Amino acid sequence: MSAPEETPELDLAALVRGEGEAPSGDVAAGAEALRADLESWTAPEPPADLIQRTLAAIALAPAEAAEPAEAAEPMEAAEVTEPSEAQPAEAQPAAGGGALEVLTTQPFAPTPQTKRRGLIVRLVTQALAACLLFGVSASFTAFFYPAVVHALEEGRLERCQQRLKHLARALHAYRTDHPDAGKLNGGALRRALIEGGYATHEDFVCSGAGGDLHGAESYVGTSAVEALEQPVFWDRFGNHPQGFNVVYGDARVELLDVNDFQFKPEREGDH
Amino acid sequence: MSAEAPTRDEDLVTALGAGDPRALTELMQRYQRPLYGYLMRMLNSREDADDVFQETFLRVVRHAQRFDANRRFRPWVYAIASNLVKNTYRARTNRGAQSLDPGGEDDGPSLLSTLEGRGREPIESAQLEESAERVRGAVERLPEKGRVALVLFYYQGLPYAEIAEVLEIPVGTVKSRIHNALGKLGRELARREATS
């Protein structure tokens, strides 16, 4: 956060309501103009199918590497369909306008009867539209449920990969600081990294389903590798439905299918 | 959703992060009006507002698991949307696109105000449009920082603290930006009036 700028001691909300004392003519004029605009402005109605199209865009969006939520750069464009011509124009209920108003009152000047009828028609139509919208939303939710679940699972997978990368770097730092340390596997390696301050307990908890199942024992690891191309940490069975994340000594991460996963490190006490 | 379904936005994001896609629909239903209104106000283009709305919720889904339940959802979602608005401005500049309300005196009423004016009596509509057009044009010509703070505060009704979270600036700076934006708005309107 930047340093605070000068803070005027004014009730800015009251100022625009016409209740405050403006310190200068410009601010008073700006507040007055804004008040007039606020009184006349009605937020435009979102398109009726906006939620459905957003669900579709989410379902069709390609999986991407994790990035900060407030990242400045735009992501790959999600598929966006053109708004349908059937979608309503800017309905403005507060102004008494909008597509429905046009349909029910033109081309004749409204009489009290037509006004009342128009109101009933509008209420009934709006109720039907609300029911239809709810039904369509529910249908779309059901239709895209697997896709949304898939998108969520992709997110877990990416977070897991970030953790594994971090663990590989932690192991590298540990081995640099302790060149004479013996080969460590599993829990012994985990304790050494945590106690040495190279990693935290949370780093060893997988973000996938395995995190709940295995806790800090979500990953299998070994320092008993000589080459950077060899795996140092990898997922336990059941962490992710898509397969196994494996990180190599050079912090490269790979998602392997269960059938590809053949590496079997030495276990302590195997010899 | 079940009877014990979470009702706070933050609970819904947590539920979404835990894998409940119905929470997403609920969040979108809650935010489609205010967020779409904000985007239309900032972008003045249905197409861009649609795109940014979709992209905002795509990011919400992607980052739901990372959402800190101690944070408030509304400033978070507005922060995402505001960053995307900034990107859209940048993209418009790059492709040389003009705003629908470029602010020229001879440009006539904007698409937004034209659409909003439908349904009113012609004379009343014309007067309102003329006045609203003048103010909206002046608001759109404000510097981006001040305009975002002004729109979030007055048109979206966000409190100072939430705007501070959205923009990642201190509350004092939020007040200062709004105050300065009001001053600039007044000066701009006076200048326009003097030259017309």
A225-246: per-residue pLDDT in tens? 777 788 899 888 778 877 888 8
Q: Considering only A59-68, A111-120, A186-195, B108-117, which range has the smallest mean pLDDT?
A: B108-117
Q: Is the pTM of this model over 0.90?
A: no
pLDDT computed for residue B83 by the predictor: 93
- Residue A35, burial from CB neighbour count under 10 angstroms (0-12, 13-18, 19+): middle
Q: Tell me if chain A has a CB within 8 Å of the CB of B145.
A: no
Task: Please judge whether B116 and A57 are an interchain contact, meaning their C-beta atoms are less than 8 angstroms apart.
Answer: no
Residues 6+ apart with CB under 8 A from A161: A245, A247, A253, A255
CATH architecture of the domain with residue range B1-97? Orthogonal Bundle (1.10)
Helix (H) or strand (E) holding A255: strand A253-256
Chain A contact present for B64, CB below 8 A: yes
Q: Do A46 and B47 touch (CB under 8 A)?
A: no
Q: How many contacts (CB atoms, under 8 Å) link A and B?
A: 233
Given a cut of 90, whether residue B30 has pLDDT beyond it is yes
Lowest mean pLDDT among A84-93, A240-249, B185-194: A84-93
CB proximity B39 to A under 8 Å: no
Hey, are the CB atoms on B54 and A141 less than 8 Å from each other?
no
CATH no., domain B142-196? 1.10.10.10
Say whether pLDDT at A99 is over 70. Answer: no
DSSP H helices in B106-167: 111-116, 122-140, 144-150, 160-167
Domain boundaries along the sequence of chain A = 157-260
Instruction: Select from A24, A75, A149 the Cβ nearest to the Cβ of B55.
Output: A75
DSSP assignment, residue A78?
Answer: P
Burial class of residue B72 in the structure, from the number of CB atoms within 10 Å of its CB (0-12 exposed, 13-18 middle, 19+ buried): middle
- Contact call for residues B8 and B21 (beta carbons, < 8 A): no
Q: Tens of pLDDT along B50-67?
A: 999 999 999 999 888 888
Please tell me which residue of chain B has the smallest CA distance to A156.
B65
pLDDT of residue B158: 92
Q: State the pLDDT confidence band at B111, using cuts at 50, 70 and 90.
A: very low
Look at residue A88 in the predicted model and tell me its pLDDT.
Answer: 36
Could you give the count of Cα atoms lying within 13 Å of A200 in the half-sphere of its Cβ?
3
Distance (Å, whole) CA A134 – CA B28: 13
Mean pLDDT confidence for A161-182:
89
Q: Which position has the higher pLDDT, A108 or A147?
A: A147
A53 touches chain B (CB under 8 A): yes
Distance from CA of B195 to the nearest CA of A (A): 17
Residue type, B191: R
Rounded-to-integer distance, Cα B57 and Cα A161, Å: 23
Per-residue pLDDT averaged across A163-189, rounded? Answer: 88
Q: Are B13 and B67 in contact (CB under 8 A)?
A: yes
Q: Residue A258 is encoded by which pair of tokens?
A: 């269960």
pLDDT of residue B128: 58
The CATH 1.10.10.10 portion of chain B extends over 142-196
Higher-pLDDT residue of B111 and A27 is A27
Using the beta-carbon criterion (under 8 Å), do A50 and B36 form an inter-chain contact?
A: yes
Q: Identify the pLDDT of residue B82.
A: 93
Which residues of chain B does A161 touch, with a Cβ-Cβ cutoff of 8 Å? none
pLDDT, position B36: 94
Q: Is the pLDDT of residue B42 over 70?
A: yes
What residues in B contact A50, CB-CB < 8 Å?
28, 32, 36, 50, 53
Pick the residue with more confidence: A1 or B65? B65
Residues of chain B with CATH 1.10.1740.10: 1-97
The 3-state DSSP class for residue A223 equals coil
Tell me which DSSP letter residue A107 carries: S
